Structure 1
């Protein structure tokens, strides 16, 4: 979240545009979970705080996936997810505390969760996840079950890689710099080096994604600067943990400055969305020029691969589904890369949320799971599904049928790279 303090501006006019895009409403049929209902409750809490049970009303209003689809269609330009975050901040509970521990202690807890997932098949807890109505604990266990799925067999390999400067120029990155032209911009980026933002899942749950990303940068001849980034802060803000989000952002910006303010490349759509949102808080930066530079220097890794040629093995799946993450904004460079490489094998899935939901997984896993089940219906008959968000990849692994292999698009690229 970028605007933590409530700004009195346009009010929700209850037009209902958000009803058509809210995954929670579509999956549950509960209009009280709609963004406009949350806006109405939040308004009533402001105007008549004594007329409602504040904690109960805020808890209901905070049942949100954080997908931000509603903000894209809101006629008033409202951001309901930010309203939800403020409600969570004003009425914190054990869920917010637990989410804070889960994110800030990811280095310890997440690898432990992955090791634990490998023993779930032999644990009575697995039965909770397999029940027709698994309940809250069962659904939490179920979310871990995807961590022990068999790894995807890679079928893409590098065929031709241009010179590093050509890679930068053809990617179109940093073209907003007016002086010097594309070649000067590319040379500047190469001199500065690139910083890989792996995200929490890449660092602590799926290190193989990080290995492949680093190998790709090396194969393109790009200098990678070691950067011990923190969480992007997006999920902390969604949970109403604004102080923790601010600290994470400040740390990441200091690391970027120490690394020469080079390109920050990430392979997670949600992290990309969270990093770009830093520019909405100009007080984090050393003036407008640095804000503008940050906007230009944060980019998806897939955009850098536009000029790289891949070879598809003969035994690659004939049909590969693609799940577009909710937090992908504008051009979907992950989809563009896969479409270009896979050709007729590429299948874009209907635009739905995966059901991950962040803090909602703790507050109301039953509703989050209903959203996930709607996504699963689209996977019928597909041998494989890829995505460009690490959280989506984890959720798809937990909810997809065993007949469908799921993963991040990095999983499809073979190791070792030349």
Structure 2
């Protein structure tokens, strides 16, 4: 990464990062925006005595890690990366708690969700209340009632061998997503290879634990190598974004092979003929995850399958999950989430293609609105 001061001094004040920052959109406070964070980080990098531990922890919490600013910056400033570095340099109890939760997903997530449900809302601490509510809804209930039936599959991928990267949420608490994904791949005639993938590491990297995230990345790349470098199918936008950002490769050619191997499940389904049952809801909303790629094949697939039933979708609104920010600045997370729900008003059901977004939206959904991954719509 180039010198931080050089990056910020080269800023041409185009305002693109201000236009896309969900924090500014929700609060109208420009001091929470990307440029302010980059300038402050540059100043503190030159004189660490200006920053006490409490200030560092607070500053590090004020970023959703959505990477929208990075995507539009013509000067290549990676503000989420700067914030992650600050988090790594000044860890605190909340970052330790987040790390523990992520690195022990298999043993903790199901139990944590069950335990959180037992705590009445009035007894949840102010700072941890939103996080506990999210935990309580992690498992969800029975899920959405499926109403989309795949009628026919193309032969495009029949006989091809692929790996499936399901992600921690599907592996440990939302098994129905994994089962539906496997059924769809079977319908396509894909042979799913065995692969013991670990967490994508994105949540850890954003929280400042780059070393731990790197170990996971190296393991996952090794799994791909040993399988013969096949396609890696994903159905979580955030996982795919994290996988795309890996740098544990032997050379640039292998990096390119890895990037080309990452395939959203929905992109394989574009030619699948789907029909809706008679009891299908009339109004559905789609939440576009911050980390989805420009093509957003999830939306393309859903729009074709749902047609006029897809009545509303988010464009620039973030769900407010924010990773570590959910613990460090829950009041800001709530404001961002409120803007998102304002945009989705009127939908009976809201679906998304990101496990973190699905969890956050399910925990904050208005009464009589159901939330789930789009996989839950398919029989």
Using the size of structure 1 for normalisation, the TM-score is 0.85
Q: Is 2:312–2:347's contact at 8 Å kept on the other side of the alignment?
A: no
Considering only aligned residues, what root-mean-square deviation do their CA atoms show, in Å? 2.0
1:301 is matched with which residue: 253, 265, 268? 265
Q: Is 2:58–2:328's contact at 8 Å kept on the other side of the alignment?
A: no
Question: Corresponding residue for 2:177?
Answer: 209
Report which stretch shifted further, 245-254 or 358-367.
358-367
Q: Is 2:84–2:205's contact at 8 Å kept on the other side of the alignment?
A: yes
**SS in structure 1 at match of 2:127:** helix
Q: Is 2:205–2:213's contact at 8 Å kept on the other side of the alignment?
A: yes
Question: Corresponding residue for 1:182?
Answer: none
Question: Corresponding residue for 1:36?
Answer: 35
Question: Corresponding residue for 1:175?
Answer: none
Question: Corresponding residue for 1:127?
Answer: 122
Q: Is 2:288–2:313's contact at 8 Å kept on the other side of the alignment?
A: yes
Q: Does 1:161 align with 2:161?
A: no
How many residues are matched?
Answer: 374
What is the CA deviation profile of residues 247-285 of structure 1, one whole-angstrom value per residue up to 9, with x for unaligned ones?
00000011111111111000000011111111xx2xx21
Gaps of 5+ in 1: 169-186
1:363 is matched with which residue: 328, 353, 357? 328
Q: Kindly tell me: are residues 30 and 79 of structure 1, through their superposed partners in 2, closer, same or farther at Cα, counting changes over 3 Å?
A: same
**SS in structure 2 at match of 1:11:** helix
1:139 is matched with which residue: 114, 130, 143? 130
- Give how far 1:9 is off: 4.6
Q: Is 1:142–1:398's contact at 8 Å kept on the other side of the alignment?
A: yes
**SS in structure 2 at match of 1:27:** helix
Alignment of 1:2-401 (within 5 A): 9-12=6-9, 13=11, 15=13, 16-50=15-49, 52-62=50-60, 63-117=62-116, 119-120=117-118, 123=119, 125-128=120-123, 135-147=126-138, 148-163=140-155, 166-167=156-157, 190=160, 193-278=161-246, 281=247, 284-351=248-315, 352-401=317-366
Counterparts of 1:310 and 1:116 in 2: how far apart (Å)? 39
Counterparts of 1:14 and 1:64 in 2: how far apart (Å)? 22
Using the size of structure 2 for normalisation, the TM-score is 0.93
Gaps of 5+ in 2: none
- Give how far 1:214 is off: 0.8
**SS in structure 2 at match of 1:354:** coil
Q: Is 1:45–1:54's contact at 8 Å kept on the other side of the alignment?
A: no
Counterparts of 2:137 and 2:369 in 1: how far apart (Å)? 12
- Give how far 1:345 is off: 1.1
Q: Kindly tell me: are residues 391 and 204 of structure 1, through their superposed partners in 2, closer, same or farther at Cα, counting changes over 3 Å?
A: same
- Give how far 1:380 is off: 2.2
